[in-house]
Amino acid sequence: MRLRVLIPLLSVLLLPSGTATADPTPPVRDFGNGADRNEEAAGVAESTATTARELAPESTPELTWRPDHDRGYPRRTTLPIPPDNPADASIKLGLIPHHAIAAKLNQLQAVGDRVSAEVVGRSAGGRDMYLVTVTAPESAAETRRQERMRRQIESGDRIQTRKYKAPVFVNGNIHGNEWEGTDANLRVIEELATSTSPQIKDLLAHTRLYFNITANPDGRVLGQRPNGNGFDLNRDFVTASQPETRAMRQIMIDNQPVVMIDLHGYVNGTLVEPTTPPHGANYEYDLFIRNAYANALGIEQAILALGYTPEKDGTFPPQIPFRDSVEGWDDWPPIFTPQYAPFHGAVASHTIEFPMRVNGGDYNNQPVAELQRRSRINVDIASAAIRATYTFVQNNREKLVGDQIEMFRRGAAGEPSKQVPLGIVPGFGPEDVYNTTYPRAYAIPATGPAAGRLVDHLIANDVRVDKAVLPFRANGRTYPAGTYVVDMRQPKRGMANVMLEAGADISQRVDAMYDISGWSHALLWGASADPVTDRRFHAAAVPVKAASPTGSVPHGNGPLALKLDDAKAVRALNDLLGQGVAVTLAADGTAIVPASARAAARTVADRYGAPFTRAGQTSGTPLSSVRIAAAVSADELFTLRELGFAVTPVSTAVLNAGFDWSGADVLFVSSGLSYGALNPAAKAALDSFLAKGGVVTRGGTGANFNAAAGLLTATAVAGRGDANGVVTVSSTTGPVGAGSPAHAFVYSPRWFTALGPEVKVEQSYTAEGPLVSGHWRANPDGTGGPEAARGQAAVVSGRDERGAAVVLFGTEPMFRNHPKGLFPQVARALFWTASSAKVLTP
């Protein structure tokens, strides 16, 4: 059994009085926008979501970067220099502001023939992202040869590893207010560009070093953890909702690093992965742990060699969670950069958390001189981690490349998940062993927009997807021609499986997790992905580069129906409503479009991939564009706007300052709004709105609002606060539940009891389970576990005594923009509450 590290605490106790120090930070979890996200609303003064949209309007296209394999190195690109911004939060710390990075890179490119810089993406706020490649000069022919070898490696083919330049990827500043990785990147690039050392010359002759200078320019400038849309980018990798994440994904796919490090702060002493259990079951972990642990030990020694001490500097010795901690810093979910990178070939990847805190309260309260002292130490430590990593690759290049080949070969051969031998590295025990069972294939019926979205997402993640040209048999059924097939005999089968499998309930194996524990694109994205277990499976199929179009309008002249069962249908409907089309909402939740709007329907069907059908009825409640006053988290604000809703962010402070309710049809409450904290004028104005408007709530903040405002008669019961994962649910034929998937996502789950006669259950947790995958334990007193939620109401609706239409969610239907198959349920709640309220309004 590993022992939890005690050095930081003991070091604090032994420090002489008056010693300069930063507070030690043990490796406890920062859940980002997880359980605590209920407490702060997005889009108000402290948020930058609106700023991001002003900087990057919808008309600004996203930069799509791909490497040019027909050009050699160096590539002398003159980067455009943005205007000076004296408000850049980096300046106070003595670090480089974003507006100065391009000029610095232009200067480094001019130093010699080793440095090439490119703009590889733009942030949500429209700021450039810079990828720097440092290597010895290459002719165009040599670059093409290197690319051929890279593709051979990806196919699992053997190559002459001595001729291959091993790729190394260093990711800096993914959390905007963890600044120093950017400056360390620039320091090391300059060292490599100017060094006359034979060792550096040899390194660059056999290696390509890729530096993502700052992964989060918005957060760097604004001094905040998330990007300009309010997203923690280090939680977004298997969703890829943000442009910065998509840029990083492409860097890893196209350059296939053997080793990568992600530079963060702040944990004192410096935290260097690998991690505690549970370990991701879809990795080739035997290859990974040997390399990751060896590199971690080298990084540790490089940091110790700097000579920083607790007594002199307030800097504690490095800690390696795998060696020094029991649990709580795991690599289970593929949402983080170092946990995503192995699926694209990294046989060692690390989060590095340098030690000296300069963000949060320290940024505002510490003297500038002390902040800059801490930042200098962090840059030194991050630079040492980079140097140790490239030295590790230099000394082990052929082995690392060989392990990458072996990883891809196992996937292409369809070999079973390999159980890692105990003791493969010191301390590797039974608690570290996690495996999965790979199916022979997945069959994805091409039944609509959700299937197309899932297929396109798989392809964007470099998963090979085929399309059947003939019907085939699998799972005891016949699948028609046109069915998508993900053959699991492919090099990146781990990437495919980590998204498509249901996952596992790991509640009993560990007590503490770093972040989410359950996810599944197959269960949460609205499409079916059926695992095929027959090893003799065969389907006549051809590779596809993109899913087939899904938008359609039937021939004829009559009215049309649009089933609101997918986000693309919701977006199409909101577009039609924005054009003033007279759409009605049928009792079953289907939108009815008049025959006169067929031309508009054809346009939105093509634009969004929405399938229209012939309408079987024409009666229903008239719809109009829904205007939402939203006290919601950043991910919910982003999702609601992505669905095409008009959203005005609100909070307790906004309402207390005076808010014009005439521009709102529905109030959505999940974060940052307390009914009891409203002043009398704000409360009166809100009560007046509640007499004619609709309300949708989610989570603890929403449940509290419902109780305080006296809306529906329902008692909200809270599950364990860190519980999360995929759950099974059953839905009714109500206006919100009808057409909902059989699975939902929960984080800090809620359920509703003691329901009044005005309350209708729209969705319940199933009596069996309900947890499919994730981590959900009961509280120490036995309450709050999944057993207590069985059969209980998860989503309810009704009208309060004033006539307001209300929907309460105990699930997480928009969590981090991920469970896309649940978005239509939210839309139906908004349309129903808005239309019901308007029907009742004189």
DSSP-assigned letter for residue 333: S
353-411 tens-digit pLDDT = 999 999 999 999 999 999 999 999 999 999 999 999 999 999 999 999 999 999 999 99
The pLDDT of residue 156 is 83
DSSP-assigned letter for residue 118: E
Higher-confidence residue: 807 or 60? 807
DSSP-assigned letter for residue 265: E
What is the crossing angle of helices 567-578 and 598-608, to 10°? Answer: 140
Which of 639, 641, 631 minimizes the C-alpha distance to 701? Answer: 631
Q: Are 643 and 567 in contact (CB under 8 A)?
A: yes
The pLDDT of residue 589 is 81
The pLDDT of residue 200 is 98
What is the crossing angle of helices 634-642 and 823-840, to 10°? Answer: 80
764-779 tens-digit pLDDT = 999 999 999 999 999 9
DSSP E strands in 732-803: the ranges are 743-747, 750-753, 759-765, 771-775, 793-799
Two structure tokens written together for 510: 């560990």
Quote the distance between the C-alpha of residue 840 and its chain's center: 40
Write out 376-415 in H/E/C secondary structure: HHHHHHHHHHHHHHHHHHHHHHHHHHHHHHHHHHHHHHCC
Residue 3 confidence class, pLDDT cut points 50, 70, 90: very low
Two structure tokens written together for 301: 């020694």
Query: Taking all residues of the chain, what is their mean pLDDT, rounded to a whole number?
Result: 92
Alpha-carbon gap, residue 98 to 778, rounded angstroms: 46
Alpha-carbon gap, residue 720 to 718, rounded angstroms: 7
For strands 750-753 and 715-718, give the pairing: antiparallel
Length of the chain: 842
Q: Which residues pair with 760 in a beta bridge?
A: 797
- Judged against a pLDDT cut of 90, whether residue 258 lies above it is answered with yes
Residue 598 confidence class, pLDDT cut points 50, 70, 90: very high
Reduced to 3 states (helix: H, G, I; strand: E, B; else coil), residue 69 is: coil
The pLDDT of residue 158 is 86
- Judged against a pLDDT cut of 80, whether residue 43 lies above it is answered with no
The pLDDT of residue 49 is 40
Average of per-residue pLDDT across 431-458: 97
DSSP-assigned letter for residue 147: H
683-718 tens-digit pLDDT = 999 999 999 899 999 999 999 999 999 999 999 999
Two structure tokens written together for 647: 């959203």
- Judged against a pLDDT cut of 80, whether residue 58 lies above it is answered with no
Q: Are 166 and 209 in contact (CB under 8 A)?
A: no
DSSP E strands in 215-275: the ranges are 259-265, 271-272
Q: Are 701 and 725 in contact (CB under 8 A)?
A: no
The pLDDT of residue 66 is 82
Q: Which residues pair with 272 in a beta bridge?
A: 352
Average of per-residue pLDDT across 556-571: 96
Alpha-carbon gap, residue 319 to 555, rounded angstroms: 66
Residue 803 confidence class, pLDDT cut points 50, 70, 90: confident
- Judged against a pLDDT cut of 60, whether residue 34 lies above it is answered with no
Residue 5 confidence class, pLDDT cut points 50, 70, 90: very low
Reduced to 3 states (helix: H, G, I; strand: E, B; else coil), residue 642 is: helix
Identity of the residue numbered 537: F
- Judged against a pLDDT cut of 60, whether residue 9 lies above it is answered with no
187-222 tens-digit pLDDT = 999 999 999 999 999 999 999 999 999 999 999 999
823-838 tens-digit pLDDT = 999 999 999 999 886 5
Alpha-carbon gap, residue 164 to 341, rounded angstroms: 20
What is the crossing angle of helices 368-413 and 198-206, to 10°? Answer: 40
For strands 271-272 and 591-593, give the pairing: unpaired
Higher-confidence residue: 684 or 53? 684
Q: Which residue has the tokens 């840059």?
A: 379
Which of 704, 378, 345, 384 minimizes the C-alpha distance to 370? Answer: 378
Q: Which residues pair with 128 in a beta bridge?
A: 122
Reduced to 3 states (helix: H, G, I; strand: E, B; else coil), residue 314 is: coil
The pLDDT of residue 67 is 82
DSSP E strands in 469-609: the ranges are 472-474, 477-479, 484-487, 530-532, 541-543, 560-562, 584-585, 591-593
Identity of the residue numbered 410: R
Identity of the residue numbered 181: G
- Which element (helix H / strand E) includes 208? strand 207-212
Which of 500, 637, 620 minimizes the C-alpha distance to 562? Answer: 620
- Judged against a pLDDT cut of 70, whether residue 7 lies above it is answered with no
Reduced to 3 states (helix: H, G, I; strand: E, B; else coil), residue 101 is: helix
Two structure tokens written together for 64: 């799509």
Alpha-carbon gap, residue 231 to 229, rounded angstroms: 6
Average of per-residue pLDDT across 20-44: 46
Q: Which residues pair with 502 in a beta bridge?
A: none
